[in-house]
Amino acid sequence: MTLGELFNLCQDIELRQAKLYASLSLQLGNVDERIARFWEQMSKEEWQHYILVDFGRSLCVDTFGINSPVPELSDIPVQQIMDALETHEQKIDSKNISLDEAFEIAIAIEDSEADTIYMHLLSIMRKAIEKGNQPYLMDRIVQVEKDMVSHVDGLVQATQKFAKDADLIRKAHRLKAEHT
């Protein structure tokens, strides 16, 4: 995989996740205004990830070149991630989804290997910042890492507040434990 392909993959994942969460806001917003706002916030945070990936693309392309290889990703099941996203999209597009099913999907998304890809991308961005002697940009990466923990925390809190399935709440808490 090349650096350009990695950025394209990550942007595709972030965009699709943002759209999924936006769809959940539209479909489940009539349940409770707080639920609509929660899904909107999740979507907005995925859009922010998308924008950061675009920022990172410019930074890394200038430093390493768009066609430089990214061999460390060979053990990530990219097709499995994309297949899971497609399954989630189809379920949400059916417009026949409960709130608990929505939380189940969100937990699966946030627990997927897609986060590994994103974190790998952040490590490449760190290297580009160091190589380009631009330490003032490091704060942006550190903030993104904090935002990722906050993103999962928000999902856990909403699941705890709105989900009815105790097993689902336990899954959310396991997710949080894995991301801290």
- The number of distinct structural domains making up the chain is 1
With respect to residue 167, please indicate whether it lies within any of the assigned structural domains. no
With respect to residue 87, please indicate whether it lies within any of the assigned structural domains. yes
With respect to residue 174, please indicate whether it lies within any of the assigned structural domains. no
Along the 180 residues of the chain, how does pLDDT read in single tens digits? 889 999 999 999 999 999 999 999 999 988 789 999 999 999 999 999 899 888 889 889 889 998 998 867 666 788 888 999 999 999 999 989 999 999 999 999 988 888 888 888 888 999 999 998 988 888 888 888 888 878 889 999 999 999 989 999 999 989 888 766
pTM of the model: 0.90
With respect to residue 130, please indicate whether it lies within any of the assigned structural domains. yes
Query: Distance (Å, rounded) from C-alpha 59 to C-alpha 125?
Result: 7
Query: Distance (Å, rounded) from C-alpha 52 to C-alpha 55?
Result: 5
**Domain range spanning residue 119?**
3-101+113-144
Which of 49, 40, 50, 48 minimizes the C-alpha distance to 20?
A: 40
Angle of the 78-93 helix axis to the 114-131 helix axis, nearest 10 = 120
With respect to residue 166, please indicate whether it lies within any of the assigned structural domains. no
**Residues 6 or more apart whose Cβ sits within 8 Å of residue 25:** 35, 36, 37, 38, 39, 40, 43
